[in-house]
Amino acid sequence: MTILEVRHLNKYYDDFKALDDVSITVKANEVYGFIGRNGAGKTTTINSILSLIDFQSGEIFFDGKEVSKRTMYDKRHIGYVPDVPSFPRYLTARDFLAFVYDTYQLPVNEKEEAIKAALFKVQLEDTSKKISGYSRGMKQRLAIAQALIHKPKLLVMDEPTSALDPIGRKDILDIIRALKKDLTIFYSTHILEDAQKVCDTIGLIEKGRIVFEKPLKEIINHQKQAFYMETDSPVNEVLKCLKGSDFVNDEALFNGGVLFTLKDVDKLVSFQKYINDKMIGITLLRPHEKTLEDVFVEVLNENNH
Amino acid sequence: MKTIIKYDLLYFKKTSKFIVFGILGVFLAGLSALTAKYFNLIIEFSLGQEGIDITLPEPTVLESYTQFFSNFTQIYVFVLMFVAIMFFIQDKTRGHYPLLFTKPIYRSHYLLSKSIVITATVVVSYFVSALFFGYYTYFLFGEFDVGLFLIASLAFIAFMLLMVHLGLVFSVVFKTYLGAIMVPIAIFILFGLLTPLDGGIMKYLPQHLLVYPVSLMAQSVETSVVVITSLIALGISGGLIYLSIKLFQSKSLI
């Protein structure tokens, strides 16, 4: 079942086309990783989905209902975590969560329980302190707590780990892992390692256009096959040899060996024979599992040529 | 709507703005009556020290009213505008909009709440100050015209609300505090320059509310003119609220 659908979204800032025919489909109960470089259009897409900005053309549907700045159904059922959340500094976490809870017009007698549950989920305990005294990590946890307090159907997270140190980043990823059992998450990031850890589907945006939208497993498995090779010859000579061959692409030095992709995986035996004929002894040859980052760079390179 | 009003009231409470307005108003009220009563004596005393013997006329209650409205126009209205515009624009300048407007909050309710809270603050703090002023004036001068003062107060409150709601419009238009405060202040100065234009229907234009409270206490202007001008100013304030909402609804929030 589709929970969020963006159809042919176009957004201009004066003459600059920020979004170019962006279409996205997010299925219920998945973590959708929305990846792209800084300035690719991730935040503009999210701001459009959340009706924070206007767009020139296109449609957005949440749970089958059209989204606009006047519609409230989407606002009642979406939780949002910004990249750098800004809270009223004079409030405590409890004050802010109580206000957020009240905006959803939920039962008053369940308010305290809901606040406690939201704080527990993000492991934020000291709620008597004013938010002005919070660290970035604590603010990010509070941002997640306020986004969860009304039990949303969809959680939209805009680069929630980008401003955090490694420990804070790990904590947020742990929270996402725990949350993904119960709700749909639209997770925007440029940290591909994070996306690979938690996402089910990946949408890649580049220069305002969606380059692909596929399940993560499919992306990793269906890319051109990569291999890592070590030999008894100097690596530079091996690299030179690979460059002159018709079998390989994208050859590069990697961890003391050579990393390359075969144009045709079925020609692996022929490739080995070709190497042996060049008097190079292969000491190790194994498939190299590509990371999302490898795929990202590859796709963007293809896209830019 | 109730929730967003609570949120706005919390701002005034947690940042002690209620107390600031209250203390400022009461201080100016007390100072006005005292200055009116004893200013001539102070001048006579100071000049006497310099060897200049002068006798100034005994101050009347009218001087107390004049001091009160002058002090409130010159100090209270300015402080009010600075605080009100900060209150209107701070969610924008401090980046609170993304968290606020991803909640089920209507933009119209958001602005109406701002208007209600600031109007309540103006009315309550003004009347607390006016009550203190009335008591102190009566104590010092032995008289106080409650009826006329109430009408003069209506005129003055209508003027303050007009200025505040001008601030509301420009808080929606501009992205920075400085931009939002400059235009209403320029209009305030312009109002001061335009007060001599009072022929025909011009006398009903709201800039006259700067001088009408004192004129009314001196009974040099008709009560009906003051009331009509006040109602026009309140009507314009209503129009400014409507304009703010329309502008706010048509804009991208970030």
pLDDT tens digits for B215-254? 999 999 999 999 999 999 999 999 999 999 999 999 888 8
Q: Is residue B37 within 8 Å of B64, Cβ to Cβ?
A: yes
Check A80 against B94: CB less than 8 A apart: no
Count of CB pairs separated by less than 8 Å, A with B: 72
Domain residue ranges of chain A, discontinuous segments joined by +: 2-221, 226-289
Distance between CA A213 and CA A209 in Å, rounded?
11
Strands of A28-127 (E only): list them.
31-35, 57-62, 65-66, 78-81
Q: Which CATH architecture has domain A2-221?
A: 3-Layer(aba) Sandwich (3.40)
Distance between CA A242 and CA A141 in Å, rounded?
49
- Closest partner CB to A99 (pick from B7, B95, B97): B7
B-chain CB neighbours of A75 within 8 Å are: 102-105
Report the pLDDT value the prediction gives residue A203, as an integer from 0 to 100: 94
Q: Which residues of A touch B (CB under 8 A)?
A: 47, 50-54, 69-70, 72, 75-76, 78, 80, 82, 84-91, 95, 99-100, 102-105, 143, 146
Angle between helices B146-173 and B107-141 (to 10 degrees): 150
Looking at the predicted complex, does its ipTM rise above 0.95? no
Check A53 against B103: CB less than 8 A apart: no
Burial A242-254 (b: 16+ CB within 10 A, else e): beeeebbeebeee
Q: Is A226-289 assigned to CATH 3.30.70?
A: yes
What percentage of chain B exceeds 90 in pLDDT?
Answer: 72
pLDDT in tens, B148-201: 999 999 999 999 999 999 999 999 999 999 999 999 999 999 988 888 887 788
Distance between CA B97 and CA B92 in Å, rounded?
6
pLDDT band of B48, cuts 50, 70, 90: confident
Nearest of A52, A98, A99, A45 to residue A75 by alpha carbon? A52
pLDDT surpassing 80 at residue A240: yes
What is the 8-class DSSP label of residue A191? Answer: -
